Amino acid sequence: MELDEAIRTRRSNRNFEEHEINIQELKKMLESGSLAPSAKNRQPWFFYVIYNEDCKKNFLESMRQGILELEQLYKSKNIVRPDIAGAKYTVKSMEKAAAIILVTCKKKYADIYEDGVQWPLQARDIEVTDILSIGAAIQNILLKATEMGYGTLWVCDIFYAYSRIEEFLQTKDPIVSAICIGKPNQESRMPGRLPLNEIITII
Ligand SMILES: Cc1cc2nc3c(=O)[nH]c(=O)nc-3n(C[C@H](O)[C@H](O)[C@H](O)COP(=O)(O)O)c2cc1C
């Protein structure tokens, strides 16, 4: 598959069919991730691979539990959070994925320096560049998986169950995303994109 085809046909899949994946295939995708550019070549990514059925079940149970706790917390404060339903839907989408990869950011670099740049964001420069680098690695993994005939879903709804997942992984490194990989059982339609003239200014 040509790169352009992979870029154009990659979709977020939320319907996977039962399918097993082997570690060699996953390693090929992860190797593509490891070839991504990274700020100062820090390679701040770390990948936890879950593809065994029991482990997947345990992970999803932790995620469900974390979301439930958050929901109960907001209910007790009489705060309505409709977005929590979206996180529950994401868990459903993850159930049939052949593998779930949890991506963490190696924190050792972010702790070295104080903020070196005056960001108008509440974020430190090293953290921002590390997260950007990890995003590049994730996109490489998604495109490689697409080329290999797999569907993928990039997931940040893990944040709704952050402490449960931290407990599951037994890590203090920040968890930045999950990636689901599996055989899609239906075509996903492409959500619209902004036209180029709305996102470009030629100076
Ligand atoms: C950083 C990031 C986080 C995302 N998190 C979720 C998620 O938690 N659940 C979900 O269903 N989709 C998630 N998505 C997928 C987006 O909804 C999707 O990329 C977008 O709607 C465009 O659709 P497409 O990927 O098919 O082009 C995420 C995408 C990105 C880039």
User: Which amino acid is it at 91?
Assistant: V
| pLDDT lower than 70: segments of the chain | 108-123
> In 167-176, which positions are buried (b, 16+ CB within 10 angstroms) versus exposed (e)?
ebbeeeebbb
| Confidence at residue 111, expressed as pLDDT on a 0 to 100 scale | 61
Establish whether residue 147 lines the binding site of ligand 1, counting it when its CB lies within 6 angstroms of any ligand atom. Answer: no
**Ligand 1: which atom is nearest the Cα of residue 188?**
26
The answer, yes or no, to whether any atom of ligand 1 lies below 6 A from the CB of 15, is no
pLDDT tens digits for range 78-102:
998 899 999 999 999 999 999 999 9
Concatenate the DSSP letters of all residues of 131-182 into one string: HHHHHHHHHHHHHHHHHTT-EEEEE-GGGGGHHHHHHHHT--SPEEEEEEEE
Which pLDDT does position 120 carry in this prediction?
57
pLDDT at 146: 97
pLDDT reported for residue 112: 57
Cβ(152) – ligand 1 distance below 6 Å: no
- Cα dihedral 72, 73, 76, 82 sign: negative
Of 173, 182, 90, which is closest to residue 134 (Cα–Cα)?
173
Ligand 1 centre distance from Cα of residue 89 (Å): 12
Q: How far apart (Å, rounded) are the C-alpha atoms in residues 126 and 117?
A: 9
CA of 26 to the centre of ligand 1 (A): 20
Residue 124, pLDDT score: 75
* pLDDT value, residue 115: 56
Distance, CA 106 to ligand 1 centroid (Å)?
Answer: 23
Cβ(13) – ligand 1 distance below 6 Å: no
157 pocket-lining for ligand 1 (C-beta < 6 Å): yes
For the entire predicted model, the pTM comes to: 0.94
Could you tell me if 125 and 46 are in contact, meaning their C-beta atoms sit under 8 angstroms apart?
A: no
For atom 22 of ligand 1, the residue with the nearest CA is: 191
Full DSSP string of 80-93: --THHHHHHHHHHH
Report whether residue 116 contacts ligand 1, using a CB cutoff of 6 Å. Answer: no
The residue behind tokens 């950011």 is 105
Residues whose CB falls within 8 Å of the CB of residue 96, separated by 6 or more in sequence, listed in order: 15, 16, 17, 18, 182, 185
**Nearest-CA neighbor of 8 among 147, 136, 141?**
147
